[in-house]
Amino acid sequence: MSDWEPVIGLEIHAQLLTKSKIFSAASTRFGAEPNTNACLVDLGYPGVLPVLNREAVRLAVRFGLAIGAEIAPRSVFARKNYFYPDLPKGYQISQYERPVVKGGKLTIRLDDETEKTVNLTRAHLEEDAGKSLHENFPDATGIDLNRAGVPLLEIVSEPELRSAAEAVAYMKAIHTLVRYIGICDGNMQEGSLRCDANVSIHKPGEPFGTRAELKNLNSFRFVEQAIEYEIERQAEVLESGGTVVQETRLYDPDHHETHSMRAKEEANDYRYFPDPDLLPLEIAPDFVEEVRATLPELPDAKRERFQSGYGLSAYDAAVLTAERELADYYEAVVAALGGEAKLAANWVMGELAAALNREGLVITASRLEARALAGLIRRIVDGTISGKIAKDVFEAMWQGEGDADEVIGKRGLKQISDPDALAKIVDEVIAANPAQLEQYRAGKEKLLGYFVGQVMKATKGKANPAEVNRLLKQKLGG
């Protein structure tokens, strides 16, 4: 079974961050009362005409530029015809033969730190359909058309992914990118970023197998689980002499399996044709350059700069640049400190991340501003407190007890670094432990740790550890 090679391509739908819909002036706000965001254009009333939203075009171009794709100077909207109650017009306005974004590529990173470049086929603009509500309606389906007409960018990869892990890494890279460039909020629970996966398996060197399309994988975990399940299912089908059917399958996370949704052969003829209500979309080079000028530093470039500029490990740089806001926070800490990039990285990824996680906060909602965290780290660097005490100070700051200096002063946490004061305590500790002293001098040198512990206990953790070590070694040696 291990010699099957999976072939995976992803279609990711990113909801573009516009205020109004792609072809109408109705609101796109999430969470509105059912059908209050659906205007006559979205409802497909006779006599209405779609008018394209400039911002949706700008955001699509932004994505194209970020992946180094070609921005089509001329693209065409087409009708994709099918019947479903959440599609009032009987067709979805999409792009077919001439998408707005062609090609492009994205580098993904796997857990083992290897990199892979994934080519994209295209990205095109389209409108979303409405939502079918299957629960709460006995023998009926409820239809909410608020989402109908919401602008989507469908991002299509080449079938170049070879494992579920690669598919997840690719989706994460898209998730990071769309938020970096501010075209999509990436909120998968609200459906702002959705993923379909085309999965087939074959023996290396042989033609690709028949693929199944897995629908609506709305978390990274589901993407991975659904693809893994599907690979195994297809291998079992083929090895027992069967054939894989081209079909759409829905992932059921509760039972960790996929179900056939509907056979595609017939209904799959979408009879695409150019939408006569919409003229071709022409994008002038000036417009493209205007958009290019507003692109922020992209994740790859930022990660490389974090490694070379701050001397961070590949892992640290990847974690800190996963979100633009986190990267900004980190850079603000380093700027306030005027250096100490590694120590700052440890604190942002350690204590701060833990505190944020614990309370389910995003970095922009952090209770500690970058400057405040820098203030704390500065006191470690200048020897006022030890790293261990700093954790208590951090906690107090997090609870709103003031800035680092206030907490240190109020709680009397200032580190004891004065050699004379420490020497006195060290002498007392040695005098109180004659048996241990004898063993140490007889060669049991790991007892040094015991003495350090005793000094720390006597000073309530405030003794400067480096100084304590130095003094103990000197005095214990006799």
Partner 1 sequence: MFDAAEVKRLAHLARIAVDDTTAANLGGELDTIMKMVDELKAAEVEGVEPMAHPLALSQRLRADAVTEAPERDLYQQNAPDTVAGVYRVPRVIDRS
Which residues of the shown chain bind partner 1 in the complex (CB under 8 A)? 18-20, 24-27, 32-40, 43, 45, 51-57, 74, 76, 83-85, 97-98, 132-134, 137, 139-145, 250, 259-263, 266-267, 269, 274, 276, 278-282
Pairing of strands 91-95, 193-202: unpaired
DSSP classification of residue 119: E
Q: Minimum distance between the CB of residue 50 and partner 1, rounded to whole angstroms?
A: 10
What does the alpha-carbon distance between residue 51 and residue 11 come to, in Å, rounded to a whole number?
26
- Of 399, 376, 396, the C-alpha closest to 386 is 376
Q: Minimum distance between the CB of residue 325 and partner 1, rounded to whole angstroms?
A: 24
Q: Minimum distance between the CB of residue 265 and partner 1, rounded to whole angstroms?
A: 12
Nearer to partner 1, 261 or 448 (CB): 261
Contact 119, 29 (CB under 8 A): no
Nearer to partner 1, 93 or 472 (CB): 93
Contact 164, 208 (CB under 8 A): no
What does the alpha-carbon distance between residue 186 and residue 220 come to, in Å, rounded to a whole number?
12
Give the total residue count for the chain.
478
Q: Minimum distance between the CB of residue 19 and partner 1, rounded to whole angstroms?
A: 5
Q: Minimum distance between the CB of residue 32 and partner 1, rounded to whole angstroms?
A: 8
- Of 15, 244, 3, the C-alpha closest to 125 is 15
Q: Minimum distance between the CB of residue 150 and partner 1, rounded to whole angstroms?
A: 13
Nearer to partner 1, 53 or 415 (CB): 53
What does the alpha-carbon distance between residue 281 and residue 73 come to, in Å, rounded to a whole number?
8
Nearer to partner 1, 24 or 121 (CB): 24
DSSP string for residues in 183-232: S----TTTTSEEEEEEEEEE-TTSPP---EEEE---SHHHHHHHHHHHHH
Q: Which long-range contacts (CB under 8 A, 24 or more apart) does 163-167 make?
A: 163/6, 163/8, 164/6, 164/8, 164/223, 164/224, 164/225, 164/227, 164/228, 164/231, 165/110, 165/111, 165/224, 166/8, 166/108, 166/110, 166/116, 166/118, 167/8, 167/10, 167/197, 167/223, 167/224, 167/227
Q: Minimum distance between the CB of residue 171 and partner 1, rounded to whole angstroms?
A: 24
Nearer to partner 1, 43 or 458 (CB): 43
Q: Minimum distance between the CB of residue 28 and partner 1, rounded to whole angstroms?
A: 8
What does the alpha-carbon distance between residue 58 and residue 66 come to, in Å, rounded to a whole number?
12
Nearer to partner 1, 9 or 99 (CB): 99
Nearer to partner 1, 264 or 391 (CB): 264
Question: How far is the CA of 182 from the CAs of 107, 174, 298, 342, 459, in angstroms?
Answer: 19, 12, 11, 28, 51
Q: Minimum distance between the CB of residue 33 and partner 1, rounded to whole angstroms?
A: 6
Q: Minimum distance between the CB of residue 108 and partner 1, rounded to whole angstroms?
A: 32
Nearer to partner 1, 139 or 420 (CB): 139
Phi, psi of 58 (to 5 degrees): -60, -40
Sign of CA dihedral 396, 399, 401, 403: positive
Contact 436, 448 (CB under 8 A): no
What is the number of other CB atoms lying within 10 angstroms of the CB of residue 244?
Answer: 18
Nearer to partner 1, 32 or 343 (CB): 32
What does the alpha-carbon distance between residue 439 and residue 445 come to, in Å, rounded to a whole number?
8
Q: Minimum distance between the CB of residue 88 and partner 1, rounded to whole angstroms?
A: 9
Nearer to partner 1, 259 or 441 (CB): 259
Nearer to partner 1, 86 or 405 (CB): 86
